[in-house]
Amino acid sequence: MRELRAVITAPTMRPDGCLLITPGYDEATGLLLRAGKWPPIPDKPTRICAGMIDRDAIKQRWDAIGCKLDERGRRLFAAAEVQAAGHGGLAIVSEITGIARSTINRGEDDLDEGPLPDGQVRRKGGGPKPLSARDPTVVADLRQLVEPATLGDPMRPLIWVSKSLGKLADELERMGHAISANTVAKLLAVELGFSRQSNRKADEGSKHPDRDAQFQHINAKVVAAQAAGQPVISVDTKKKGTPPVKAALRSWG
C-alpha cells in the first residue's frame, strides 16, 4: 500500500527542486494534490516562490551575529546563508544584509579556503590600490610642492618640509587630487623618503610671517646658480649665547 503523507490543494516544490503541479498522487513525496484553480506559476519557479526560504530567520541571525563581524566574517556569514538557503537565496541574503551579490560570491570562494593570518581580513592583493597607483601624478605634484619648502642640510639645499601636512593637502586638492593630511604623510615617507623627526636644536625662525616665501626665494637662487654651473655654499650660523631650542614640534625630513 502506498503511503499518503498529506493532501494538498496547491502546487508545491519537491525536495529535488521540481514543481509538483499535476493533480493526483505523487510517488516521490507521498503527497496527493487535489485539482483546483491557482494563480499562474512561472516556468522556472524558485524556492522563494514556494516560500521555502525563511527570511525572518535569516534576518534574525544577521541582526544577532552577522552584522557584528568584521569584513571577512560578514562575507563568510552571508555566503553560508546563501548555501543553506539554496537556489534563490542569493537575492534574499543580499537584500537582508546589504552585501553586494558579487561580494557574497567571493565569500563562497572563501569558504573553501583555509583561515587567513591573524588580523588579515582580505586575501593577498585585496583592497584598494595605493593612491600613487590610482592617481599617477600625485607624487610628482607633491614633490613639486615640497622642493621649495624644505630646509636645513649643509650638503643639500633642501631636505625637510617646512609646510604643514594640512597645507600640502590643501594645495594638492586645489590641483585636483582627493587627498588627506594623513595620506600626504604616507606619500612623504613611502614615495619621497622623508621621515618624521623631532625638532632639532636650531632656531629656524618658524614664527616669521614670511618664512615660506624666504625659503622659496632661497631655493630659486640655489637652483639658478646650480643651473649656471656656479658653486653654492651653505653656511649654518647661530647667534652666540642663544640657548638651544627644544620644542615638541615634529617635522618631516
**Strand, coil or helix: what is 121?**
coil
Between CA 58 and CA 211 the distance in angstroms is: 63
**Strand, coil or helix: what is 27?**
coil
DSSP string, 171-187: HHHHTT----HHHHHHH
Sequence spans of domains, the chain? 1-45, 55-111, 131-198+210-233
Q: What is the DSSP-derived secondary structure letter of residue 117?
A: P
Band the pLDDT of 154: cuts 50, 70, 90.
very low
pLDDT over 80 at 251, yes or no: no
List the helix and strand counts (H, then E) for the chain. Answer: 9, 9
Band the pLDDT of 172: cuts 50, 70, 90.
confident
Between CA 190 and CA 81 the distance in angstroms is: 42
CA atoms within a 13 Å half-sphere pointing along the CA-CB vector of 86: 14
Residues 113-134, mean pLDDT to the nearest whole number: 64
Q: Which residue has the higher pLDDT, 156 or 6?
A: 6
Band the pLDDT of 117: cuts 50, 70, 90.
low
Residues 170-199, mean pLDDT to the nearest whole number: 79
Residue given cell 543553506 in the structure block: 84
